[in-house]
Amino acid sequence: DGQQAQALAIEPQVPIHVDNDKHNVIEDTVREEGDERPNKRPKMNKKSQILREKKEELERAAVIPAPKDASSYGEMGKPVVLTNISTDIQRKIDKGWESNAFNQYISDLISLERKLPDVRDPQYVYIC
């Protein structure tokens, strides 16, 4: 069915066996190094081929995230210091302290994906 075709298009390296005349799919064998037997591949119908092409197109178009700015708020554990705070920002800071018991405004400025320094003892950093 369509689900089998999607599975074929999405995960072609996984051994698959469909035993009906509609798809004519044969089991994909796993070859070990030095094995000279031919690697059987599933015969693909048109829908499977289209799905595989769409998947490959999406993989090529994947967005690579931009590198993090080293001077971002809270990067490497550095404190955030705000100067010349407007009254609007001061109200947001006060509201955060009242409702959450921490500075919600500055917390929202700090990235969840920030880098932090490694605080482990140097002798334990590279233990395998």
Q: Which domain holds residue 20?
A: 2-60
> Token digits for 69?
């700015």
| Rg, the chain, Cα only | 27
Residue pair 97/91 in contact (Cβ under 8 Å)? The answer is no
Please indicate, yes or no, if residue 52 is contained in any of the structural domains.
yes
Residues 43 and 92 in one domain: no
pLDDT string in tens for the chain (128-residue length):
555 544 444 544 545 455 555 544 444 455 555 656 555 556 668 888 888 888 888 887 776 666 677 788 888 889 999 999 999 999 999 999 999 999 999 999 998 888 888 888 888 888 76
Please report where in the chains the tokens 């591949």 appear, as a residue.
Answer: 41
Same domain? 52 vs 83: no
Judge if 122 and 91 occupy the same domain. yes
Percent of the chain whose predicted confidence (pLDDT) is above 90: 22
Domain count of the fold of the chain: 2
- 99, part of any domain: yes
In-domain check, residue 102? yes
- CA-CA distance, 44 to 55, in Å (whole number)? 15
